[in-house]
Structure 1
C-alpha cells in the first residue's frame, strides 16, 4: 500500500528509542512497526527462525534430488531414516522456539 500521508506525534526521546529498538528487532521500519501496533496487529519476533528455515530448505533440496533420481530410475530404494531424523530435529527446534513465547 502506498504511504501518502505523513503523521507526526510528540513523545519522550526514551520512548522513541524504545520504539526504534522494537522496530529493529522486528525487522521492520519504525513507520511499519508503529502502524501495525496502532492497528492492533500482532508483531511477532521469532529468534532462531533463520537457522530453522535454512535446515528446512536443505531437507527440501535433498528430498527433491531423491525424487528426481527416482524418476530417472537411478535410485530404486531410498533410506529416509536420516531425513526423518533431521525433520524430527527440525520439529523439535520449532517447538522450542514456540515455547519461548517472546511475543
Structure 2
C-alpha cells in the first residue's frame, strides 16, 4: 500500500529508542512496525529461527535418505521414533512461538 500521509507524534527519546530496537529486531522499518502495532497485528520474532530451520532440514534429509533406501529395497523396516520425536519437538517450539509464549 502506498504511504501518502505523514504522521508525527511526540514521545520520550528512550521510548523512541525502544521502538527502534523492536523494529530492528523484527526486521521492519519503524514506520511499518508502529503501523502494524497500532492496527493490532501480531508481530512474531523467532530468535531461534536458524536452529529450527536447521532441525527441519535435518529431519527432511533423514526422511529423504530413508525413502531412497526403501525404494532401492535396501531397507525393510524403518524405525522413525527418533525422527518423529525431533519433529514433535520442532512442532511444539513453533506452536509455542505462534501462541506468543
TM-score (norm 1): 0.69
Q: How many residues align?
A: 100
Q: Which runs of 5+ in 1 are unaligned?
A: none
Compute the RMSD of aligned alpha carbons: 2.8
8 Å CA contact 1:47–1:97 kept in 2: the answer is no
Whole-angstrom CA distance in 2 between matches of 1:10 and 1:75:
66
TM-score (norm 2): 0.70
Q: Which runs of 5+ in 2 are unaligned?
A: none
Whole-angstrom CA distance in 2 between matches of 1:82 and 1:6:
54
8 Å CA contact 2:36–2:42 kept in 1: the answer is yes
Q: 1:57-82 CA distances to partner (integer Å, 9 max, x unpaired)?
A: 21022112211332233333222232
